[in-house]
Amino acid sequence: MQIIPLPAFRDNYIWVLRNDRHAVVVDPGDAEPVLRYLADEGLSLEAILVTHHHSDHVGGLPALLAASPVPVYGPARENIAGISHPVAEGGEVRLPGIDACFKVLDIPGHTAGHVGYYGEGVLFCGDTLFAAGCGRLFEGTPAQMYASLNKLAALPGDTRVYCTHEYTLSNLAFAAAVEPDNTAVIARIATSQALRAADQPTVPFLLAGEFDTNPFLRSDAPAVIRQAEAQAGHALTTPVEVFAAIREWKNRF
């Protein structure tokens, strides 16, 4: 199985999972690049996976389903037109055409019913975990998002993470503001800048690389706690409070 990014809109990636004959797409916000890729490569669409209800992730469903009425897997707890197979924590998505199987993870926070798909050593996490960042809390609480991020962080460190946006450089600029002395962040800025200068995606990324560079997974690091308390203007006693203060600061950054 190969995994190919189709750039969409300003900074989205629609992920195509494919072999020689079949393809599965994740979060098709736009149908046009998908239909063009399938036609160019002579692939038949087997299924569609959706992580959450935002239009930049589901906008392409009507046109894709009009072209090929395939199963659409998506969050049971969100109301999305076109989903034929609602999924939730504990569920499985079997995709025999591309010889893959994914487990469903409930990861609320960005939206109330957001799900992720984990299997074959890879994770599709939509707008929950980004490279060196995390999604905005549109519908969930800080405690929910903190729990979701830590659920993902518990996956094997060699998991390749496929998020849906190219936000890495701006996330790293924020990470450097949180921890100016973090040498791992400084090094990751250099490697990410080199990738972008060569017009390469910074996604996927290795989960293990997040622990020393992603401020939203570092609520127990003394430097992060200090910055969170400075932003909040008072002492913070729990990792969730630290996470919430850093997330709040990022909204204004």
Given candidates 30, 46, 106, 127, which one binds Fe ion under the rule CB under 5 A? 127
Cβ closest to Fe ion, residue 3 vs residue 125: 125
Q: Which of 22, 52, 53, 114 is catalytic?
A: 52
Based on the shown chain and the rule CB under 5 A, indicate whether residue 165 belongs to the binding site for Zn ion. no
CA distance 95 to 122: 14
Residue 27 near which of Zn ion, Fe ion, none (CB within 5-8 Å, type-dependent): none
∠ Cα 145 146 152 (to 5°): 90
Do 44 and 38 meet the contact criterion of CB atoms below 8 Å apart? yes
Q: How far is it, in rounded angstroms, from Cα 139 to Cα 145?
A: 10
By a kind-dependent CB cut-off of 5 to 8 A, residue 78 interacts, out of Zn ion, Fe ion, none, with none
- Total residues contacting Zn ion (rule CB under 5 A)? 2
Question: Can 85 be counted among the known catalytic residues?
Answer: no
Q: Following DSSP, what letter does each residue of 128-185 receive, concatenated?
A: SEETTEE---SSS-HHHHHHHHHHHHTS-TTPEEEESB--HHHHHHHHHHH-TT-HHH
| Minimum gap (Å) between residue 54 Cβ and Zn ion | 4
Q: Which residue, 9 or 231, is less far from Fe ion as judged by CB?
A: 9
Q: Binding pattern to Zn ion, positions 117-146, x when CB under 5 A?
A: ----------x-------------------
Closest CA to 206 of 162, 149, 167, 141: 162
Q: Round the CA-based radius of gyration of the chain to a whole number and report it.
A: 18
Q: Which of 22, 53, 54, 114 is catalytic?
A: 54
- Catalytic residue selected from 22, 53, 114, 165: 165
> Is 165 annotated as catalytic?
yes
| CB 127, min distance to Zn ion, A | 4
DSSP characters over 35-100: HHHHHHHT-EEEEEE-----HHHHTTHHHHHHH----EEEETTS--TT-SEEE-TT-EEEEGGGTE
| Beta carbon nearer to Zn ion, 54 or 247 | 54
Cβ 11 to Fe ion shortest distance, Å: 9
Q: Is 106 in the site for Fe ion (CB under 5 A)?
A: no
Q: Are 142 and 243 in contact (CB under 8 A)?
A: yes
Q: Which 44-73 positions form the footprint of Fe ion (CB under 5 A)?
A: 56
Q: Are 182 and 171 in contact, with CB atoms under 8 Å apart?
A: no
> Which residue in 204, 174, 159 sits closest to 13, CA to CA?
204
Write the binding mask 45 to 64 for Zn ion: x where contact by CB under 5 A, - elsewhere.
---------x----------
| Residue with smaller CB distance to Zn ion, 164 or 182 | 164
Residues of this chain that interact with Fe ion (CB under 5 A) are: 56, 127
- What amino acid positions are annotated as catalytic residues? 52, 54, 56-57, 110, 127, 165
Residues of this chain that interact with Zn ion (CB under 5 A) are: 54, 127
